Amino acid sequence: MSNILIIKHGSLGDIAQASGAIQDIFENHKNDRICLLTTKAYLEVFKKNPFIHEIILDKRLPRYNLIYLYFLMKKLKKFKFSKVFDLQNSSRTNFYKNIIFPNSKKETWSSSITTLPEVINKKDFDKLSVLDRFNHQLKSSGLKTSFTLNPDFNWACSEINEIKNNFKLDKFILLFPFCSPHLNIKKWPYYNNLIKLILGTFGNEYKIITAPGPTEINDAKKINAQPILDNGKALNISQLTSLIKDSSFVIANDTGPAHIAAHVGAKGFTLFGKHTTAYKVSIERENFKAIEVSDLNNLSAEKVFERLSSSLKNKNKS
């Protein structure tokens, strides 16, 4: 039995996207021990992943922290990994490669760089969708891929009946109007207008809720929807995943929760401006779609409601 290392530091949406690739690595190495290098934010949720045997914490301290770097590299070398699958594909993980396996090829260190097609440069390769890049990386590393293009994040769910009972959640529309402060280009500004339209048409048929992250609880007060918290704190990733899965419909900016919704089979859509495309981030699935516009400020609440209303009516018919 060999030790196999997967590296996936984050972010939340990337964790959901990588679920299929992680499963394929496991399926191709059933007689080996699968270890995962990740960060503190995702340590607990990855403990639920059935395709990982051991988790290693990377605090991701600055690279000039030579003492930390020395002990992390020493720990990793003790495992004597026969192969590394770098699913983070960052400058940091490439830096790790040059320490642990200098000058290694794809046979030892699988990354987007070591498996780059000869007929395409890195800049053009990165224009492909996230899942297509993962799929190419694993296939070029000799793996059979059955799940990479269709990630399933349902493994991350946990039981949330108490939370649902406390907030009397049965049929509910879940909104994610938040985004990182430095990514305001992703933020659609008309959620409160949309809520008025929903209430005006559907009345009390659906409860309208939000699920703010730890830094979004104050921002949630500006949205005319019920914030769902666990004893005043933000839901953890597993609770959030279950809430998304159990929702009647999800509407979200292009953030982590949107990617979770896509990969647990939730119905809904996400709103895209010019920052990227739905294709590149592999977010559209059978039940989860995207509305793409050049400027989110010009996407009216009426247009979004029209799409939502049509989806809900079709869902009720079925």
**What is 3-150's CATH superfamily?**
Glycogen Phosphorylase B; (3.40.50.2000)
Answer whether 84's CB lies under 8 Å from 5's CB.
yes
| Order of strands across the sheet that contains 109-110 | 54-57, 33-38, 3-7, 83-86, 109-110
| Residue found by looking up tokens 């699958």 in the block | 85
Percent of the chain with pLDDT over 90: 91
pLDDT in tens, 144-189: 999 999 999 999 999 999 999 999 999 999 999 998 777 788 999 9
pLDDT (0 to 100) of residue 301: 98
pLDDT (0 to 100) of residue 298: 96
Percent of the chain with pLDDT over 70: 99
End-to-end CA, the chain: 49
Residues 6+ apart with CB under 8 A from 83: 2, 4, 5, 107, 108, 109, 110, 141
Q: Nearest Cα to 138, choosing from 127, 128, 149?
A: 149
CA–CA separation, 80 and 168 (whole Å): 51
pLDDT (0 to 100) of residue 316: 62
Give backbone dihedrals phi and psi of 79, rounded to 5 degrees, phi first: -75, -20
CA–CA separation, 24 and 93 (whole Å): 21
**Of the given ranges (62-76, 106-120, 245-259, 304-318), which has the lowest mean pLDDT?**
304-318
Per-residue confidence band for 283, with pLDDT thresholds at 50, 70 and 90: very high
CA–CA separation, 318 and 309 (whole Å): 14
pLDDT (0 to 100) of residue 174: 98
pLDDT (0 to 100) of residue 313: 76
pLDDT in tens, 6-54: 999 999 999 999 999 999 999 999 999 999 999 999 999 999 999 999 9
- For residue 266, what are the CA distances in angstroms to 34, 174, 211, 213? 29, 11, 15, 19
Whether 55 has a pLDDT exceeding 60, the answer reads yes
pLDDT (0 to 100) of residue 179: 86
pLDDT in tens, 191-202: 999 999 999 999
Per-residue confidence band for 70, with pLDDT thresholds at 50, 70 and 90: very high
Give backbone dihedrals phi and psi of 303, rounded to 5 degrees, phi first: -65, -45
Answer whether 26's CB lies under 8 Å from 34's CB.
yes
Q: What is the pTM of this model?
A: 0.94
What CATH architecture applies to the domain 167-317? 3-Layer(aba) Sandwich (3.40)
pLDDT in tens, 73-123: 999 999 999 999 999 999 999 999 999 999 899 999 999 999 999 888 888
Q: What is the mean pLDDT of the chain?
A: 95
pLDDT (0 to 100) of residue 180: 79
CA–CA separation, 61 and 279 (whole Å): 33
pLDDT (0 to 100) of residue 181: 75
pLDDT (0 to 100) of residue 119: 87
pLDDT (0 to 100) of residue 302: 97
| Residue found by looking up tokens 């401006």 in the block | 273
pLDDT (0 to 100) of residue 317: 57
**Intrachain domains 3-150 and 167-317 with the same fold:** yes
Mean pLDDT of 236-250: 98
Domain boundaries, the chain: 3-150, 167-317
Please count the residues of the chain. Answer: 318
